[in-house]
Amino acid sequence: MKLVAEVVPGKPIEHEIATIERADEISQASAGLTIAEGKTILENLQKEIVTAQVHQHGISVRPCPRCGSAFRTKGYYRATLRSVYGNVGMRIRRLRGCSCSGSQARSFSALFTNKNPITPELRYLTAKMAALLPFGKVADFLGELLPLSAQATAGTVRNRTMKVGKRLQKSAEVLATGSSNRPCKKLIVGLDAGYVRNRQQRPERNFEVIAGKALDGQGPSTRFAFVRNGGSEATSAVDLAMRQCGVTETTSITVLTDGDAGLRAVQQQVAPEAEHVLDWFHIAMRFTNLQQLAKGVNALTDGGVRRHALDELERAKWRFWNGHRIRGLIGLVHLQQWARAQCFSHIHSLKKLENALLDMVHYLELNADSMPNYGKRYRAGQRMSTFQLCYSAVLLMDVICRQLAKPS
């Protein structure tokens, strides 16, 4: 297999790329190219094409735009182009500055300013896969498909991904600065958090990642995430998302969280005037856990006790849904005291239900000021849960957990 290049019209140049040999009989294993043959062909083809491009670019440098004199050659230096189809060594021409520029005359490269450049396709492929898989798995997978010279280690994959992430963050800041002046009337911000195991065991084994999503109901949603470490990352990340949505002083902001004290502190820091709403999804899940404990009571021997506990839990849930939080808390307290009665000491499931009810009452009391009439909000078409709002953020956190919880 040969490559025929015609850089100068009428003067073709041939380069041998690879030699492929096959028997007369064909089988599934011998049909077409193998992975090794394909990688060899692509690597050799890339090498010949890039070498010809660099040579042609070096001899076709334009003269000085001021005086029209040709630039003189100072020398050559070696560089390596890292691409999807392999690493290619290049001999790049370095030029002397023109004398017409006086003291500003300096030598400069005729091609890449970076000594070891990386093609955008390789950056994109590495960063896209590293966002979905652990760095070590990405390095192994790319090693199976890319040529031998293009293979990278887990550390290289991580460094490239971090560089792409920093560039994306800077681009987001620029886009937010020059975004449309369309004001946002109402903004919904959902926050959720989770702990991730640290790559380094010191100074702490785990750190907390907060992910969220801002939605104004008209434009596309804006997602953000940051590590809570007491710095200014929280303010900058959420502020950037709000600016992208067009938040002004007159914008009505609603923040949905699960009632965690840390998330409420973040809300007070970035949007102190916003309305905080306790996520109904988390309330419903806690009631589901209580109902499961109540169902653990034997229906044959203690059927009346089981029915009473389930009915009271359903009644309390209905009260919180319709905004009667005081009556709902009173009902849960009465149910907790009822489950603590001495006559039920032989029912172990009620003991667990009593402890769970105590935690539930404490949780709801701490967030009593953030529980509106959920039924009214639902009928008005307003959001009341971060389950749908932050579903993508939860997936993002899951990716981060799988990324950092496994050794690279």
Which amino acid does the sequence have at 295?
Answer: K
Contact predicate 99/105, CB 8 Å = yes
Q: What is the pLDDT of residue 326?
A: 94
Residue with tokens 């967030």: 367
Q: Quick one: tokens of 132? A: 């979905």
What is the structure's pLDDT at 309?
92
Residue 388: the pLDDT is 54
Give the CA-trace dihedral at 293, 294, 298, 304, to 10 degrees.
170
CA distance 98 to 100: 5
Beta strands in 126-221 (DSSP E): 184-197, 206-215
What pLDDT was estimated at residue 168?
80
Residue 392 is predicted with a pLDDT of 46
Contacts of 224-228 with C-beta under 8 Å, sequence gap 24+, read: 225/393, 225/396, 225/397, 225/400, 228/193, 228/262, 228/266
Tokens, residue 137: 């798995």
Amino acid 230: pLDDT:
55
- The pLDDT averaged over each successive group of 10 residues in the chain (408 residues) is 81 83 82 84 88 83 79 84 88 80 68 79 90 87 84 88 83 62 80 77 75 75 76 73 80 88 84 89 93 87 88 95 94 92 84 93 93 92 69 52 48
Q: How far apart are CA 307 and CA 309, in angstroms?
A: 6
- pLDDT score, position 37: 85
CB contact set of 238 (below 8 Å; sequence gap of 6+): 189, 212, 214, 224, 266, 270, 271
Instruction: Look at residues 208, 368, 195, 356 and name the one whose alpha carbon lies nearest to residue 278.
Output: 368
175 neighbors 222 (Cβ within 8 angstroms): no
Query: How far is the C-alpha of 144 from the C-alpha of 131, rounded, in Å?
Result: 19
Q: Is 250 helix (H, G, I), strand (E, B) or coil?
A: strand
In this structure, which amino acid lies at residue 194?
G
> Does residue 147 contact residue 43 with C-beta atoms inside 8 Å?
yes
pLDDT tens column, 114-138: 777 888 899 899 988 888 888 888 9
Backbone angles phi, psi at 195, to 5 degrees: -100, 140
CA distances from 257 to 137, 144, 213, 390 (A): 34, 43, 11, 10
- Quote the pLDDT of residue 78: 86
**CA distances in angstroms from 133 to 4, 83, 196, listed in the order given:** 40, 21, 15
The SS3 call for residue 75 is strand
pTM: 0.64
In whole angstroms, what is the distance from residue 276 CA to residue 367 CA?
10
- Give the pLDDT of residue 338: 92
- Distance CA(348)–CA(279), nearest Å, equals 31
